[in-house]
A and B are shown apart, each in its own frame.
Chain A
Amino acid sequence: MGGHTLAEKLIASHVPGSSGVRPGDLVEVNVDVVLANDITAPISLREFESLGVARVFDPEKVVLVADHFAPNKDIKSAEQCKVMREFARAQGITNHYDVGRMGIEHVLLHEQGLVLPGDVVVGADSHTCTYGALGAFATGMGSTDIAVAMATGSIWMRVPETIRFEYTGTLQPWVGGKDLILYTIGQIGVSGALYMAMEFAGPVVDGLPMADRFTMSNMAIEAGGKAGLFAVDDATREYVAGRAKRDYQVYASDADAVYARVVTMDVSGMGPQVSFPHLPENTRPVSEAAGIKVDQAVIGSCTNGRLEDLRVAAQILAGRKVHPDVRCIVIPGTQQVYLDALREGLVEAFIEAGAVVSTPTCGPCLGGHMGILAAGERAISTTNRNFRGRMGHPDSEVYLSGPAVAAASAIAGSIVHPDEVI
């Protein structure tokens, strides 16, 4: 009946006694990492208590990150972070990342070596799929699922079908992982991979830096996907070396693996992409967005808040000025990214250009704080969602792009191809 996909192998390796799983199987899966954040943990912890279990299954494997509304944006947020902090202390959870150590969870966990190839990770956050870039099976769930995983170390899952995406050709300048994934979602739609794993492959992917892979895996959920997976290669091994504090396993799809679908795309002709409001599938070439005025440019988030993303933005912003009608907000994903950006002179370049540089936080990405839009305002943003009201007022608009287009648009005052300002 054919071989197995990477997703099937990763899941099967975590089902005790399994000799292999197939799409549609409902299985109980052991997990290596269980994650929650300041907005999802409070519900998880309430459910955890009602389970009547005294201790989490393994305090080393539970990770709690205060990132969404932290540093606390108001009293209610402060209470939520406090609930999480007290739980971490009581349970001896050392991987609790509070202000000063924290970063956006999906930039932080792999940076800190907490997720490794071959792992199964569940998180009470939909973008948990980010870690698929490492060849780990990582998926988002709700707070109740996470409470059960914290208590038992396992969770039920339906084994997903896999769609394989093969990218061929050569990438144009200023085109990266964000453009590839926006383009892909534009092709298949926001429910194009519903309940399925997305496997990214092909010659273009083989040469793709890890930062771009994280960006692509991050947005698998925006196509309805359960996971966004990359095979492990030298780039993965190099990334993990020096971060891993434990052994890891490498799995790969069989040559005769059975896929629900294989989508092949030659991306040689693809320029930078922009997703129009109010769905990530409304992807068009940047040329079609040319001239659309913006009030705000956001560069950051778990999609594009890594050092590599800030370097691209700085390349464009350095020595230039943010348009007087634009608020440009740069948010390094973690304390380490912030420090590295500072040491490389990127922060200086941003400030001199007239941008603000924020402490790591989700902030405006989900309309939390640090850059909320008023009615009628429009942002170009490197985040992952442009749903109505996502960054503030229901009558505001978010256009999604990679860091190059966002930085260039901040200078131009309207959406432009980076070549226009360089």
Chain B
Amino acid sequence: MALSGQVWKYGDNVDTDAIIPARYLNMSTAEELARHCMEDIDTSFAGAVQPGDIIVGGENFGCGSSREHAPLAIKGAGVSCVIAESFARIFYRNAINIGLPILVCPEAVAGAQQGDALTVDLEAGTITNARTGEIYHTSPFPPFIMGIIQAGGLVPYTRERLQEQ
């Protein structure tokens, strides 16, 4: 699966209140949430993000609350992938579970600037930066997690398993 889009670059510890402020948690659809994605730290994001764009963050991306609204808002905004130096663990699970690809790759983060064009090949685990021509390699997901991703998320994965029983 190849993903490509422009980089939206943020720093360390982008928290879930920054991704989707709690005042919008009385909504729960990806479309509604996407309209307010990132608005407390970047008012331009929600209006300008294009389908396929890629969020690049520093350490501990998605820290804070367990709100699945955060990856939902990002996915709803059309973002194809999030690349960071590291992810907070609940955000990591949530993204995998709802089928939002996320990759840990400090080198790609260091080499990326706002607006760069990136192409990501999930199977091969490669990230290509068109501006610099650099190709980065990420470590593959453990097979168990790849199974969830291939099924399209935790719900279809579990549904298949329940039907087998």
Contacts and interface: CB of A to CB of B under 8 A. Distances in A.
Given A144-B154, A388-B40, A224 B63 contact: yes
A389 B162 contact: no
B162 A52 contact: yes
Interface stretch (A73-81, A165-173, A235-243, A292-300): A73-81
A53 interface: yes
Contact of B89 (A76, A143, A190, A224): A224
Closest 6 CB pairs of A and B: A142-B94, A76-B26, A191-B60, A142-B68, A366-B22, A144-B97
A47 interface: yes
B32 to A, nearest CB: 10
Contact of A126 (B90, B145, B153, B159): B90
Contacts of B26: 39, 69, 73-74, 76-77, 80
B40 A152 contact: no
Given A26-B142, A144-B97, A195-B89, A51 B17 contact: no
B93 interface: yes
Given A126-B66, A279-B13, A388-B41, A51 B90 contact: no
Nearest to B17: A387
Contacts of B90: 126, 140-142, 221
A368 B17 CA distance: 12
Contact of B144 (A73, A141, A152, A156): A156
Interface string B81-110: 000001011100110011000000000000
A124 B25 CA distance: 14
A226 interface: yes
Given A140-B90, A389-B21, 8 more contacts: A52-B159, A69-B26, A141-B94, A148-B154, A194-B89, A226-B89, A387-B18, A388-B41
A405 to B, nearest CB: 23
27 contacts: A26-B142, A39-B26, A39-B67, A39-B69, A51-B159, A141-B93, A142-B66, A142-B68, A142-B97, A142-B98, A143-B94, A144-B94, A144-B97, A144-B153, A145-B94, A148-B158, A151-B158, A194-B88, A195-B89, A366-B25, A366-B65, A367-B22, A367-B23, A385-B15, A385-B64, A388-B17, A394-B41
A51 B93 contact: no
Contacts of B94: 141-145
A140 B155 contact: no
Given A69-B25, A77-B26, A389 B40 contact: yes
A128 B89 CA distance: 14
Interface string A385-410: 10111100010000000000000000
B150 interface: no
Nearest to B43: A394
Given A46-B28, A51-B162, A144 B98 contact: yes
A422 B87 CA distance: 44
A43 interface: yes
Contacts of A224: 60, 63, 88-89
B20 to A, nearest CB: 11
Given A144-B153, A367-B23, A43 B17 contact: no
A40 interface: yes
B64 A144 contact: no
A389 B17 contact: yes
Nearest to B60: A191
B116 interface: no
Given A124-B66, A142-B97, A366-B65, A42 B155 contact: no
A40 B65 CA distance: 11
Contacts of A76: 26-27
B31 interface: no
B45 to A, nearest CB: 14
Interface string A63-74: 000001100011
Given A77-B26, A144-B68, A387-B15, A152 B158 contact: yes
A18 interface: no
Given A142-B97, A390-B22, A191 B59 contact: yes
Contacts of B154: 144-145, 148
Contact of A388 (B18, B23, B68, B145): B18
A344 to B, nearest CB: 32
Contacts of B162: 51-53, 151-152
A394 B66 contact: no
Nearest to A195: B89
B66 A40 contact: yes
